[in-house]
Amino acid sequence: METQPISTSPKPPQAGGQLSIFEKYLTVWVILCIFAGIALGRIFPTLAKTLDGMSVYNVSIPIAICLFFMMYPIMVKIDFSQAVRASRNPKPVLLTLSVNWLIKPFTMVVFAQFFLGWLFRPLLSATELINGTEVTLANSYIAGAILLGIAPCTAMVLMWGYLSYSNQGHTLVMVAVNSLAMLLLYAPLGKWLLSANDLIVPWQTIALSVLIYVGFPLAAGVYSRYWIFQNKGKRWFEEKFL
């Protein structure tokens, strides 16, 4: 009597199963950092003014250094040569570009003006001096929200793509194209939206922010990726460097 082999179906993959401890509990680390920042501000009240003093065109150099080391690991993972492949299947890329640059920035303006400029404005009536100009906290928050809304996400796109087991080729193409588009569109669009809402942010501040927060990490990521591929090989890059 023959026995039929019992077929065992593989277990479905669990999203996030290969994440490190740091990545799994990222929310916890963020909350701890928030409380640590509040505690530092209470214990050392002059620390914020000291850090603000290390700025160029209102761009904080300490924050720029920290953000460089946050953005560089993201940029070095992106294969920008795949941006050329977008022409083969342009629909997903065009949809992403349309949402990021034609819908999202203007939606953020509406949200910022409604919540910060009207609903919660009585709570944000205090003022601060910025380069000798008195500005209300509401306007500062609105300007920050608008600038935040313009910037397309890169790190979380890669992370959510990884967690959802999506097409990594498409994900890399979209991130690469959006990163390149941000270099060209962020500064002029940001300046235009701020001016249209009577918010004053120096052009130099926006341009320098794009250069430091996006340009430098992008250039360093592209160069180091190319150098490692040429000298160490792709396998060493993926297994050791990353």
Q: Could you report the per-residue pLDDT of 104-138, keeping only the tens digit for each?
A: 999 999 999 999 999 999 998 888 776 667 788 89
CB 217 within 8 A of CB 133: no
Residue 131's φ and ψ, nearest 5 degrees, are 55, 40
What angle do the packed helices 61-77 and 216-231 form, to 10 degrees? 40
Helix H segments across 101-237? 104-114, 137-150, 155-163, 168-196, 203-210, 216-231, 234-236
Hey, what CATH class is 70-241 in? mainly alpha
Q: Could you report the per-residue pLDDT of 209-218, keeping only the tens digit for each?
A: 888 888 898 8
* CA–CA dist 181, 189 (Å, integer): 11
* CA–CA dist 170, 161 (Å, integer): 9
Q: Is the pLDDT of residue 7 over 50?
A: no
* CA–CA dist 48, 55 (Å, integer): 12
**Which is higher by pLDDT, 132 or 57?**
57
* CA–CA dist 160, 175 (Å, integer): 12
Specify the 3-state DSSP secondary structure of 57. Answer: coil
Specify the 3-state DSSP secondary structure of 6. Answer: coil
pTM of the complete model beyond 0.85: no
